[in-house]
Amino acid sequence: MNTVKPMYGWETMNWAKVQRDVLKLQKRIYRASKRGDVKAVRKLQRLLTNSRDAKILAVREVIPENGSQKTAGVDGVKRLRNQEKLDLANCLKLGRKTQGLRRVSIPEPGRDEKRAVGILMMMEKAKQGLVKLALEPEWEARFDRNSYGFRPRRSAQDAIAAIFNGMKEDHKYVLDAHIEKCFEGIYHQKLLAKLNTYPTLRREIKAWLKSGVMDGKELFPTETDTPQGGLMPLLANIALDGLESLLEDKFQGGVANCGNGKATVVRYADDLVVLDGELEVILAAKETIEAWLMEMGLKLKDGNTRISHTFIEHEGNIGWDFLGYNIRQYPTREKRSRATGNTEQKRGFQTIIKPSQGAIKRHLQKVDEIIRSHKNSSQEQLINALNPIIRGWSSYYSTVSSKGIFGKIDSILFHKLRGWAFFRRNRNQNKTDVISSYWGVNQGIGWKFITPDHKYCLEKHSQTMLERQVKVKGEKSPFDEDYVYGSGRLWNYPGKCH
């Protein structure tokens, strides 16, 4: 009998060692890029893209588990078995012919328009994941300090914390801008010139950009299109990198994220915020940004770009919404007002950031849809469907002033659940019997929506602990080998269970 076991398998892979070996090479790329050694960066990137560990990790990170992907690419494949993933990693190689994307349209939350999304086939996903492992550490050493979208260990909460730091000391004018068709409008030649990588990677990326998009049964060319998904968010960040440096050169006061009289620039993917105390600076910044974007084939979206003020009304606006948050300053009494800087002068206002009305409405609509779709389901099934939604939404807003809103949403949710329970009651049950069947109020455990065996209990928004987010330091990166700082950031990440 043959008792020889295969040397490795997907199920028995030592993933800790794989990640550790890839991270070692990424750190070397980061250090070389930081010191400006282009030759070493290119050599290490070739070594990484030919590494077996990097290929296996790329497949693991981009291929969804258990067939969770609902839409297939051009190849029609939604799921790969473990052995197929291993075979894909073993045959993964750059420089081969690329395949086009499949385009699907999905609705954007809070907007009437739809957004086009490109779905890659499995081989192209894995190749783009491999290229991302090589390019990301190089550009993490060069990106702007206040860029937060689609970057490792940076979040929307960091962007909000940067905005809070920039406006907490004084009133500010705000340029709230959105870049129109950021992923689709970038000039390919400009992007490739800015990327400035070695020939193999350049040819591969150019082939992806020019591969075309399948919409139905027709193939459309992509002359100025940068399809979404895979590597493309990183390429969009590379294309937009330099806005902060541009404003530093344009306005001699510089760009910072502290209340020291300087302008504040915060970018999260294609959303951009500029804060300054002078309206003239905001207007000049808008013109400068529009001129710079035009060179990359981009422009600001008129319908989503506006100028507001954090405290007083300007053009009918006070404050603004950003990434699902409402940001504004409110007048307050002198006793509750903090001092400005190191002086004794009172500010006379309080900066409050909370969930936006649009975000609250979308969340309640989602909850209502789940409850309606579970009219004939058991209480256990309803709880298991609601808990991830409640937990995720509450964690996202756990770093701002959300306590009052969490309580109001819990009250609305109680009335929705009560309607769900009364809909299911028997003819002989009165309201008290229904409440006793689904809530633990008569069992001495309070108004908890809980199953009779106490195994499943609905979480409340107000149970989420609120904790102010400490913004990531501008120059910090997961590749800079500052393990003490990095581990502290992971421990205090929003939604982390202590």
Among 104, 295, 269, smallest CA distance to 187 is for 295
243-294 pLDDT per residue, tens: 888 887 776 554 544 444 477 899 998 899 999 888 998 999 999 999 999 9
Mean pLDDT of 315-335: 87
* Burial class of residue 423, CB neighbours in 10 A (0-12, 13-18, 19+): exposed
Sheet holding 213-215, edge to edge: 114-119, 101-107, 213-215, 218-220
Residue 354: per-residue pLDDT:
95
182/173 Cα distance (integer angstroms): 25
Average pLDDT over residues 90-113: 65
> Is the pLDDT at 370 greater than 90, yes or no?
yes
Instruction: Say yes or no to pLDDT of 390 above 60.
Output: yes
Q: What is the pLDDT of residue 456?
A: 92
Q: What is the mean pLDDT of residues 473-495?
A: 75
Q: What value does the mean pLDDT take over residues 411-430?
A: 89
Residue 433 pLDDT grade (very low, low, confident, very high; cuts 50, 70, 90): confident
Per-residue confidence (pLDDT) for residue 229, from 0 to 100:
57
Q: With the CA atoms of 422, 425, 428 and 429 taken in that order, what torsion angle do they form, in degrees rounded to the nearest 10?
A: -60
pLDDT of residue 308: 93
Lowest mean pLDDT, pick from 53-67, 97-111, 157-171, 381-395: 97-111
Most confident of 111-120, 166-175, 223-232, 387-396: 387-396
Helix (H, G, I), strand (E, B) or coil at 427: coil
Residues 300-322: what's their mean pLDDT?
Answer: 90
pLDDT at residue 372, rounded to an integer: 94
Q: List strands edge to edge, sheet with 349-355.
A: 320-322, 325-331, 349-355
Mean pLDDT, all residues of the chain:
82
pTM to 2 decimal places: 0.85
- pLDDT above 90: residue 113: no
> What Å distances lie between residue 177 and 304, 443, 463, CA to CA?
6, 53, 35
Q: What is the pLDDT of residues 60-74, one digit of tens each?
A: 888 765 444 555 454
Quote the radius of gyration of the chain (alpha carbons, Å).
26
Instruction: Give the dihedral of Cα atoms 116, 120, 126, 127; nearest 10 deg.
Output: -90
pLDDT at 259: 41
**Does position 207 have pLDDT exceeding 50, yes or no?**
yes
d(CA 420, CA 412): 13
Question: What does the pLDDT read at residue 112?
Answer: 57
- Extract the tokens encoding 248: 């530093």
pLDDT digits (tens, 9 = 90+) for 136-193: 999 999 998 889 988 888 899 999 999 999 888 888 999 999 998 877 778 888 999 9
C-beta separation of 319 from 357 below 8 A: no
Which is higher by pLDDT, 299 or 63? 299
